[in-house]
Amino acid sequence: MTNTLHRYGNPESLRDDYIVFAIPARGINDQGCVEKLRTFLRSALKYNPVNVGEGAKGGIFRPSKSLNLISTYLRPRKHGVAPQEVAEGVDGPGTVAAVFDNKESMERFLEEVKSLDLGISVNVSALVDDTREACRLVGICPHSVEYSLGFRGRTERLASRRVLELSTMCGHGMVSFRLAQKMIDQIKEGRQTPEKASTFMAKFCTCGVFNVSRARRLMEEARVSD
């Protein structure tokens, strides 16, 4: 099971969303896993991920703990940490992930992961057909496949499609419906850009699996078409 299983959207909407996880099993293969997890993330950085994350400390985009009037309005704000810092900051067993906005980069990374043979579980979260094709190309046989069956029940109470596409990119629900709607509204009003809005929302996703590239595209589509 992965917290990225329920990313909302049709296949066309998910064409630029590929997440690769690595996680050890506690008490089974977690001894000495820290360097393996660091190696996983270091390798991912070669293929230009749009985000990388570590479950305990977060991803590239992080909130600031020391904001004040001057730093908020008068000085350029730091939006997070360097990708290399995320990789080197792993200091215990846990989940690490890399997010890509194109299938080719994900495939090249998977090929390297196979050659590294780290001995820990690797999970790809993406469209099933794309994932199967990538596995065939690199010579990997998937252990299992999980499907999301979508939302059931009183779906009329859900947020709009645009909001769901954005908010479900944080599987733990840290990007709220109202925040996503606020960003869309500000972009339509010309008060915000898709680039800044996607970075802002990514800071709330503490696992670092929010796809800022997809978010920019979705918000630009909402700006020009809605």
pLDDT digits (tens, 9 = 90+) for 147-189: 888 888 999 999 999 999 999 999 899 999 999 999 999 999 9
Residue 95, number of CB atoms within 10 A of its CB? 20
For residue 1, being part of any structural domain is answered with no
The domain of 120 spans 18-225
For residue 209, being part of any structural domain is answered with yes
State in Å, rounded, how far the first CA of the chain is from the last one. Answer: 34
For residue 66, being part of any structural domain is answered with yes
Can you give the pLDDT at residue 1?
57
Give the chain's mean pLDDT. Answer: 90
- Give tens-digit pLDDT for 114-138: 999 999 999 999 999 999 999 999 9
- For 16, residues 6+ apart whose C-beta sits below 8 A from its C-beta are 101, 102, 211, 213, 214, 217
* Region 39-53 average pLDDT: 97
For residue 221, being part of any structural domain is answered with yes
Can you give the pLDDT at residue 72?
44
Can you give the pLDDT at residue 223?
87
Total structural domains within the chain: 1
Residue 191, number of CB atoms within 10 A of its CB? 10
